[in-house]
Structure formats: structure tokens, C-alpha cells
Structure 1
């Protein structure tokens, strides 16, 4: 390799993909965990029309369609005694913690300050992120499956937005952790790891094309001997034009002039 050549290793795309999806999935999972809207119960018996309940795994809130006031910390022992609630609380918290651990492990393995990434460390972090996504999807899917079987004060039960966010966050973590983990296996000739070295010699590899030469044709102009003027150009050198009289006496100037008269003077 010639001197003065610098080697640049491209950051593997699978690591970038995983390191972007994992934090985004963690934020969505955190929102799904703390938000009290895993399901919404409408048309509650003994309550005014328009009153509905938003139930999560940590809290229950009461609201109405005619007001923006929301009353949380509602008590419902039958709901919180359900087995799925306790399991969802434990698995969602474990998923959040495991995602942070996976990111802490994967960051030193990703090539940010080294020539090549540590695929073993990065793959281990990706495995932890993958498991955290699985821990999120299990309670979310279980809760959705038995949505109407959980104790409720009404039969009008709808899925809350926390379920949607939990699904999206869990899938993002599963995909991000999986693509980081497959970096441990070298396949496709190392192309999955972006192991294509790019040499930069500091000089342009393209040969600059020489400037285009433009030939301008020369035009020789010959002086025409024919002229419609009764006198030639050289005759102006022999003519002595009269000068204006300073005293303003035009008659004396015309009488003192002794040159040859012209047609214009007649």
C-alpha cells in the first residue's frame, strides 16, 4: 500500500440499524408501560352518559366526553387482582431494564472510535435487545387476547393506544436486536458486516481532462480602394481647417483664410 494512504472502514449498516431502532423502541415501551390506557371501557352502569374508564397496568383514570377533567387513582381491586396485570407489570419493567443493559453492552462494541467493531460484544448487546423486545410483546399480546375476559363494569371494551405503542416498540426492539446479533455470523463474504475497505490516498482517482482548445478563425480584411467619396483618406492630412476667431469677428477670419474653397463653403 502506498505511503500516505489512509484506510477508512465504513460503519456496518446492521449496527446503525440496531442502534437506531433500540432507543426508539425503548421510548415507545416506556410510554406504553406508564400510560393508563391499555383498554377503554364505555357505557358504564350507574355512571352519567359519556363517562368512560381508561385502564392501564398501574393506574385507572375516569374521564368524560363533555369535559377535559381526568380523575386518576381510581380503585378497582378486581381488575388489579387479575393475573395478567401482575405479569405485565413485571415483564414490562424487566424489558425496559434489559434494553438499557443491551445498549450499554452494544455501545462499546460498535465501531465509533476503533478501526473495526467488536462483533462479539455488539452481537451480545443485540441479543439482549432482542430479548427485551420479546418481553414486551408477550404481555401485550396476552392482554390483547383476553381483553374482554378481564373484569370490567361494561361490555363496551376497546383497545387503548398503549397496546399499539407497545406492539410497535416491541417489534422495533426485536428487529434491531436481531440484525445486530446476526453480525456475529460472517456470511456473504463479509458483506453483511460492510467489510469493504476503502482506500483514500488523498488524491483524486479521476484524471482531469485537458482544457478544450477552441480555434478562432482569423479574418483578413482588405482595404477597399474604391470609395464613393470624391477625395481619399490621405487627403485629410493635407487639409488645414480654419480656427475660430477668438475676438468673434467672423468676417475677418473668412477674409484671412487663403485655403482652397470647397463645395460646402459655397
Structure 2
């Protein structure tokens, strides 16, 4: 059975496919959110009893700061050896940094594949870039979810009285989901799903059929005999009275013959003739 060639598919629009635009928008947004979650020292917030009520401690994966609710000034670079010796801290540091690097590599691969300056994108290259972006999102979600799951079990030199989730956890979740969605949508462009609609393509025979389906079929030609035929010599002779009285004429068209009155019988006239 012969296989279909790629020339049987055609793009109806020369614009960049929507799935590639979707991925190229979500991936940088997710990278910015992940970068903020990585460097900001607020994975969890502690309210120990040894500090005044308006002071609290913010712990991240790289730094620990002390802040107050009445002032924006923070005291950072606090030492907490017990906190940084937890396994989740080392895993989060490695995966978050790796996620940022893999996202940049994925964008560098996807941009030449998208080729918004040309008519047809390179779906294989764009799909590989989307796969890298998808993996970077997974590497972000893993430490974020793990840290949240054992939030109260992470040991610290500070007494754990009131532990709350920091804003870095929320930003990390959102950034990771953005990268997973954007990378997955770009990756499915490798396969021609849904009849090619996910790539904005359709078959050439379907396009040609739809183009002429709305047109009415041409009317059938009817040959009408012309009236300019040459007359025969018999029909060119004008009709005469003798021909009209011929037996061939219609009988109803003849006028009745005038009956003659016999005014005599054996040489004698009728009484009516007198």
C-alpha cells in the first residue's frame, strides 16, 4: 500500500501556528517565575516565640533573612547550619538551577524550529525544544512539591512555632506549570493530530474539494434547431387556389359547393318555378 507523502498536506495560513505561540509565551514567563522562586529567600516563614511579634524569619534555599512587618528593611545572611544540611535543600538547589538552564536551552532550540520569519516551521526541532521545556518544568515541580510536603519536618536551629508557606512556593508552582503546559503543547506538534488541525494543516485533496463544492455545475447544453435553414424548392412555390382545392387539403378548410337548382323535370317546370 503506497504511503502518503508530505506534499499532500498544505498550510492554509502562513502565520505562526497557535501551539508554537502558546509555548513560546508560557516558557519565558515560567522561567522568570522560577528564577524569582530560586533566588528569593522565602520558601517558608517562621514566627518564633524568641522574637518580637512583628518580626519573622524567612528561609529560602540559598539564604535566610530576618524581617519585620512594619519595615521593608531585612537582615539577611543569617547562619543556620542545621537548616542547610537537610536533604531537600541540596536537592532543591540542584534541580532549580538545572531547571533554569534547561529552559534556556529549550528556548534556544525551539526558536529556530518555530521560524516565525518563514512560511513553514520545523516541527521536529520545535518539538525537541518543547520537550526540553517540559522537562525543565518537571524539575521545578519536584523540589517545590517535596518541600511543601515536608514543610513542618525540615529541621532548623530556630524553634518551629508557626510555620507558613512562603511566596516562592506559589511562584515555583505557577512557573513549573507554565513550562509543563508550554513544552507539552509544543511537543505535540511533532505528530499530526486531529487531522492536522493542531498544526494548521489540511490535505490537498480536501482543499481542492472544498474549493469547488460551492460552485454550481455548468448547465447542460441544449441544441435548439435554427430557423435559418434553406427552404426547399417545393416549399418556396406560393400556394394557388387550385392547390387549396386539392384533395390533399384539409376538408374542413374547404367551403361547401353551391348546389344547383333543377328547375325542370322532364322538360316541365316545377310548380315552385311558376
Fold-level match, TM-score > 0.5? yes
Deviation at 1:196, TM superposition (A): 5.4
Q: Considering only CA atoms, is the larger Rg found in Structure 1 or Structure 2?
A: 2
Which of these residues, 165, 174, 180, is aligned with residue 180 of structure 2? 174
Alignment correspondent of 1:105: 109
Take 1:47 and 1:188, find their aligned partners in 2: how far apart are those partners?
61
CA-CA distance at 1:17 after TM superposition:
0.3
- Name the structure 2 match of 1:11: 16
Deviation at 1:10, TM superposition (A): 2.6
Per the alignment, residue 23 of structure 1 pairs with: 28
Q: Could you list the runs of 5+ residues in structure 1 that have no partner in the other structure?
A: 1-6, 200-266
Give the structure 1 partner of residue 233 of structure 2.
Answer: none
Query: What do the CA deviations read for 1:118-164 (whole angstroms, capped 9, x no partner)?
Result: 00000000000000000000000000000000014222000000000
Q: How does 1:87-126 map to 2 (within 5 A)?
A: 87-126=91-130
Q: Does the 8 Å CA contact 2:49/2:161 hold for their aligned counterparts?
A: no
**Which of 134, 139, 142 is the matching residue for 1:130?**
134
C-alpha displacement of 1:115: 1.7
Distance 1:90 1:119 in 2: 31
1:219-258 aligned within 5 A: none
RMSD between aligned residues: 1.6
The 5-angstrom pairing of residues 46-65 of structure 1 reads 46-65=50-69
Distance in 1, matches of 2:28 and 2:49, equals 42
TM-score (norm 2): 0.67
1:162 paired with 2:185, answer no
The aligned residue for residue 71 of structure 2 is 67
Cα deviations by residue, 1:80-139 (Å, 9 ceiling, x for unpaired)? 000000000000000000000000000000031222110000000000000000000000
Find the residue that maps to 2:192 and give its secondary structure. Answer: coil
Using the alignment, how far apart are the partners of 2:115 and 2:101 within structure 1? 24
Q: TM-score by structure 1 length?
A: 0.69
CA displacement at 1:64 relative to structure 2? 1.9
8 Å CA contact 2:15–2:119 kept in 1: the answer is no
